[in-house]
Amino acid sequence: MTQQSFQKTADDLLQGLVKANPRVPGVVAMATDRQRNIYEGAAGVRRTDRNEPMTTDSAFAIFSTTKAITATAALQLVEEGKLDLDAPASKYAPEIGKLQVIEGFDANGDPKLRAPKREVTTKMLLTHSAGFGYDFFNETYNRLAEQKGQPSVITASRAALNTPLLFDPGTKWEYGSNIDWVGQVVEKLSGKRLGEVFQKRIFEPLGMKTMTFELNDAVRGKLAGVHARNADGSLTPMDFELPSAPEVHMGGHGLYGTVGDYMRFIRMWLNDGAGENGRVLKQDTVNMAVQNHLGKLKVTMLPGVIPSLSNDAEFFPGLSKSWSLPFMINDEQAPTGRPAGAQGWAGLANLFYWIDRKNGVGGYWATQILPFGDPASFVGYMNFETALYDSLKAS
Concerning whether 67 is annotated as a catalytic residue, the answer is yes
How far is 283 from 87, CA to CA, in rounded Å?
23
Q: How many CB atoms lie within 10 A of CB 241?
A: 14
Q: Which of 134, 141, 175, 364 is catalytic?
A: 175
Q: Which of 39, 58, 64, 190 is catalytic?
A: 64
Question: Where do runs of H (alpha helix) occur along 85-177?
Answer: 122-126, 139-148, 158-161
How far is 45 from 24, CA to CA, in rounded Å?
9
393 membership: H or E segment, kind and range: helix 375-394
Tell me how far the alpha carbon of residue 43 is from its chain's centroid: 22
How far is 251 from 330, CA to CA, in rounded Å?
23
3-state helix, strand, coil in the chain (%, to 5): 35, 20, 45
> Residue 290 class from Cβ within 10 Å (0-12 exposed, 13-18 middle, 19+ buried)?
buried
Concerning whether 64 is annotated as a catalytic residue, the answer is yes
How far is 181 from 308, CA to CA, in rounded Å?
26
Contacts of 58 (CB under 8 A, 6+ apart): 26, 28, 42, 46, 222, 223, 224, 258, 259
What is the SS3 assignment for 312?
A: coil
Q: Which of 67, 92, 310, 364 is catalytic?
A: 67
DSSP string, 143-157: HHHHHH-PPPGGG--
How far is 7 from 100, CA to CA, in rounded Å?
52
> Residue 296 class from Cβ within 10 Å (0-12 exposed, 13-18 middle, 19+ buried)?
exposed
Cα end-to-end span (Å), the chain: 7
Q: Please count the helices (runs of H) and the strands (runs of E) in the chain.
A: 12, 16
Residues that are catalytic: 64, 67, 175
